[in-house]
Chains A and B, each alone.
Chain A
Amino acid sequence: MILVLAYGAVLLSFASGLLALMMNQRQILLEFSQYWLKKFPDSYKLGRSVLENSLQEGRYSNVLRHAVFMLLGLSGIFAVLAGLSVMLGREIITDQIGLGLPWLPWHVRFDSLSGFFYLIIGIAVTAVSLYGPGYVHAYDENRHPFAVLGLFTGLFVSGMLLVLLADDAFFFMIAWELMSVASYFLVAFQHENPANRHAAFLYLLMAEVGALAIILGFGVLASFSDGFTFDALREAKLSTTWASIAFVLALLGFGMKAGIVPIHVWLPEAHPVAPSHISALMSGVMLKVALYGLIRFCYDLIDTVHWQWGGVVLIIAGTVSALGGILYAMMQTNLKRLLAYSSVENIGIIFMVLGLSMIFMANGHPQLAALGLLAALFHAFNHALFKNLLFLGAGIIQHQTRELNIEIMGGLIKRMPHTSKLFLIGCMSISSLPLFNGFVSEWLAFQTALQVDVLDNGVLRSLIPVSAAALALTAALAAACFVNVFGMIFLGQPRSRHSEKAYEVEDKGMLAGSALLAGLCFFIGIFPGVIIHLINSVAGQLLGQTLPNDSAFGWLWLAPVSAEQASYSPPLVLIAALIAAGISFWYLRRNPATVMRRAEPWDCGFGGLTPRMQYSSRAFTMPLRRIFAKAWIIDERIGKDMQGAMNQDVAAIHYQLQIQDHSWPRLYQPIAQGINKLAKQVGRIQTGNIRVYLGYSFVTLLFMLWVIS
């Protein structure tokens, strides 16, 4: 039954992709329906009128668009149900599908880990399918055909779901490639812009290099076992060296997809150019699928030998990604680019906590390892919620203002009241403020890091608190970053005509999709026990260990280790907050004589505040830019236009700021140059002379004969 739901989710998303192809086939459908009605003239009146209505010229595309997204939404709901039921049942379901090559059936396994990620995908896809019809409506059908978008969205979602089901390396890679390639077409959707094509190519290149690393990782495991099924790979007995090589390959492959620094560069290029609901899926969900791959590979497939140093590697990589991601995010002015960099930060946090969990496992503290895994998975879940919400919000803003540059927005809180509230919830969650979900996972991460006293290794005991402090810095910088984002977009006065004329989005679905996510952010922030209960079954299956206090304190309390050590009760805090705010509100506003009076703001006596006097995003982040100047390559230029006699009066000042990622000149350009040089060297043997080529063939033939004999 559960498996039917899981398959159903895959098939429905696949079907939604196929249905999108019918966009240009209205004529055929029309003929078919006429034939059908002629043949069965006494079919239902209602069905008949519906069919005729929906096939009308003006309506057809709209109806089809809704139908495609409805199928996608159903797929999401199925995925949620499947994930929930497998986690609640704490089952492991296996199956075989006779697809693919005849002697290589696809092995399927659906356990709690897959179920948890199924839940993440399901929620995100449901929200996106509510949001989608209104958003894609704006695309011009001739330049950006819906058929392409819908088809690849369906394939992309089904690819992600299949990755989670795979139980052998072949099937895993097929699904993985389906996911990567389908998303490539989505990134390249608006291909008329050369920058978008470039971004899409970069994405494809890195996705394929990553896939190669994953294949090699599986290959290392497979060479020590008899077969490519995960069951066989689990049995593989590797030496420490080979296990380490496999781990590094997996980290490289999955890390490239997940976007850890310095192999994150495709992320800020690809996410802004895809349609917003696709960037929401890519950032919120696809990165999580990469995380799933890493967890499956490290916790399930490889033996435990590498865990100590693997954990250290993950902690360092995670800390660097978290700090680098948020510092780069802060300097962006393109909203979606900023959100993409912030995904790098969040993935970094997840990797870091995962590293902690590995170290605890290696040192024989499975219970603390379970706590770390819980924090990591919880943060993955939360990140999927709020990052999706923010990307959908960014989509609404782009839809209404035709802009993504936060420097020229402003004042939208009054123009777009609903969007602003939803976006504020997203900003508060991602800044990990109490009462929202981001805080709970961050709190759990701190609690995990603070348990280092049980370790024997002194270096680790001093390294982990330092990384915890880096986590604190990351969280604080994230708050600064999102104060900047919200302040620039929604507060102050409008900085451009577009944002002055913007109005609230009319499509209810777009708001409903975002509201669903925002509601979940708040709900999970108040009742985190719900999700922790689910994750516990994942930890139980992977580590054979669950948290002890899962049920002892119930839904009201969160006490991961013991109540003596730490506890947090969001519902009580919420009640206390409401009481405090209520009393102050009631007490201070009881006198009607002191109702607010509106007046002009103080303008230092010069008269006339203009929007240009406001702090801009560049100005807001200037102190941090000076303090962490080494983190970026900053190119700041101030030019002056002179005029008047002797050319001494300043007429205008131009300020230019270019901020670049260190990884391009430090890592990628040397690699690109090296490859070019190598290609030139290889080019030398290509003389273009047929006799030389015949000579090559002859030598090769001789060599082969020698090898064979």
Chain B
Amino acid sequence: MSWLIAILQTLLFVALAPLLAGWLKWCKCCLQNRKAPSLFQPYRDLIKLTKKQPVVAGHASWLFTIAPYIIFSATVLAATVVPLIAVDLPTSASADVIVMVGFFAFARFFLALAGLDIGTAFGGMGSSREMTISSLAEPAMLMAIFTLTMTASTTNLSVAISHVLNEGLVLRPSFVFALFALMLVAIAETGRVPVDNPVTHLELTMIHEAMILEYSGRHLALIEWASQLKLMLYGVLVANIFFPWGIAETFSLQTLGLGLLVILGKLAVLAIFLAVSETLVAKMRMFRVQEYLGFAYLLGLLGMLSHIILETSR
């Protein structure tokens, strides 16, 4: 039973990710006085892409054609770890939050290699920038996560979320710091404004798009889907770690349904926040990202220190 729910949850993750992207786009359009596409436009795009014949550069190697599948599967694996509608699922025990970060690293490794494979300047540029930003983001992310894991004394996400749930509403200064750190990292890792701009193809600003410039057809669909999934994963992480209320702790139809509704609401609100910030903030220069991520790291560190100094009773 619990395995079934785990599989269903993962499928739900995969299925809902384009919807979140559509909702985000819809919010942004409304804020920017543009006519919004349908909420289901990302699904249509994905279907269209899977039906198209992919065009691959003449001298692309096997790595280029296999990379989208690896990227997609690694991201799906990361999704199995994160509790979406229910905690205490068996899949969350097979890998903890550090492994989840590892899955992202896995996907990124192949994405960067694929960017280098064709040998165009754009691909190399994207790979170089992506690896730079991610290597700065990873310590900040782990710092924020360590704060959580030390509070709950576990790296298992499901157990950690149950711990936060059981403690009730306690205002922890460390969590406030960690929340902001994680949000900053999430924006950098998912390639949103102000670190990267997913809607442009301008050579000076591209990071993620530069790497996947040579992809088309089903390959592009997989990569797009994976990045939508990644956005949703970070959203769920923020929502469920810091505001876990509503997530199902028992497996009855009612609680699960409630869990689904609640997480959809939380994600919708988060997306609105993201849309507002993307509308208000301009993309920053590449070499200011280090300051941004340094700030995120500092927040994570402050969270950790306030946990150690203020919250551990000794």
Partner of B308 from the list A461, A493, A565 (CB cut-off 8 Å) is A461
- Please indicate the chain A residues that have their CB under 8 angstroms from the CB of B118 in the complex: 492, 601
State whether A581 touches B105 (Cβ < 8 A): no
State whether B222 touches A584 (Cβ < 8 A): yes
State whether B131 touches A577 (Cβ < 8 A): no
Look across to chain A and name the residue whose beta carbon is closest to the beta carbon of B106: A433
- Give the CA-CA distance A83 to B297 in the complex, in Å: 44
- Please indicate the chain B residues that have their CB under 8 angstroms from the CB of A589 in the complex: 218
Chain B, residues 58-94, CB within 8 Å of chain A (1/0): the string is 1111110100011011101100100000000001011
Size bracket of the B interface? 35 or more
Partner of A483 from the list B109, B138, B149, B304 (CB cut-off 8 Å) is B109
* Contact A580/B128 with A476-B138, A615-B121 known, Cβ cut-off 8 Å: no
Does A456 make an interface contact (CB < 8 A)? yes
- Give the CA-CA distance A569 to B92 in the complex, in Å: 10
Does A299 make an interface contact (CB < 8 A)? no
User: Which residues B209-242 have CB closer than 8 A to chain A?
Assistant: 213-214, 217-218, 221-222
State whether A581 touches B73 (Cβ < 8 A): yes
- Give the CA-CA distance A468 to B123 in the complex, in Å: 32
Does A29 make an interface contact (CB < 8 A)? no
Partner of B125 from the list A568, A615, A627 (CB cut-off 8 Å) is A615
Does B286 make an interface contact (CB < 8 A)? yes
Partner of B102 from the list A432, A564, A626 (CB cut-off 8 Å) is A432
- Please indicate the chain A residues that have their CB under 8 angstroms from the CB of B137 in the complex: 476
User: Which residues A580-596 have CB closer than 8 A to chain B?
Assistant: 580-581, 584-585, 588-589, 591, 593-596
State whether B214 touches A602 (Cβ < 8 A): yes
- Give the CA-CA distance A593 to B58 in the complex, in Å: 19
Binds A, one of B33-41, B49-57, B251-259, B268-276: B49-57
State whether B131 touches A483 (Cβ < 8 A): yes
Partner of B124 from the list A443, A453, A615 (CB cut-off 8 Å) is A615
State whether B99 touches A476 (Cβ < 8 A): no
Partner of B132 from the list A413, A613, A624 (CB cut-off 8 Å) is A624
Partner of A465 from the list B99, B132, B146 (CB cut-off 8 Å) is B146
Look across to chain B and name the residue whose beta carbon is closest to the beta carbon of A569: B94
- Give the CA-CA distance A477 to B139 in the complex, in Å: 10
* Contact A609/B119 with A453-B153, A584-B69, A585-B69 known, Cβ cut-off 8 Å: yes
Look across to chain A and name the residue whose beta carbon is closest to the beta carbon of B297: A469
Does B129 make an interface contact (CB < 8 A)? yes
State whether A564 touches B156 (Cβ < 8 A): yes
* Contact A568/B99 with A487-B112, A584-B222, A596-B56 known, Cβ cut-off 8 Å: yes
B67 to chain A, nearest CB (A): 11
Chain A, residues 402-414, CB within 8 Å of chain B (1/0): the string is 0000000011011
- Please indicate the chain B residues that have their CB under 8 angstroms from the CB of A21 in the complex: none
* Contact A594/B139 with A446-B98, A566-B96, A601-B57 known, Cβ cut-off 8 Å: no
Does A611 make an interface contact (CB < 8 A)? yes
State whether A493 touches B119 (Cβ < 8 A): yes
Does B279 make an interface contact (CB < 8 A)? no
- Give the CA-CA distance A602 to B215 in the complex, in Å: 11
- Please indicate the chain A residues that have their CB under 8 angstroms from the CB of B312 in the complex: 453, 461
* Contact A598/B58 with A446-B98, A480-B131, A627-B287 known, Cβ cut-off 8 Å: yes
- Please indicate the chain B residues that have their CB under 8 angstroms from the CB of A565 in the complex: 153-156, 159
User: Which residues A397-454 have CB closer than 8 A to chain B?
Assistant: 410-411, 413-414, 424, 428, 431-435, 439, 443, 446-447, 450, 452-453
* Contact A594/B143 with A473-B135, A487-B113, A487-B127 known, Cβ cut-off 8 Å: no
Partner of A614 from the list B91, B121, B129, B132 (CB cut-off 8 Å) is B121
Does B205 make an interface contact (CB < 8 A)? no
State whether A491 touches B61 (Cβ < 8 A): yes
Does B177 make an interface contact (CB < 8 A)? no
| Best-buried of A453, A472, A475, A593 by chain B (most CB within 10 Å) | A472
State whether B214 touches A601 (Cβ < 8 A): yes
* Contact A600/B57 with A461-B308, A479-B105, A615-B124 known, Cβ cut-off 8 Å: yes
10 A-B pairs closest in CB distance: A615-B124, A492-B119, A487-B116, A476-B135, A480-B131, A601-B57, A580-B73, A476-B138, A434-B102, A623-B132
Apart from A413-B117, A585-B69, list 6 A-B contacts with CB within 8 A.
A480-B135, A488-B116, A580-B76, A594-B54, A598-B57, A615-B125
12 A-B contact pairs sorted by A residue (CB < 8 Å): A433-B106, A435-B106, A462-B308, A476-B134, A491-B117, A569-B94, A569-B95, A598-B58, A599-B55, A614-B124, A620-B124, A627-B290
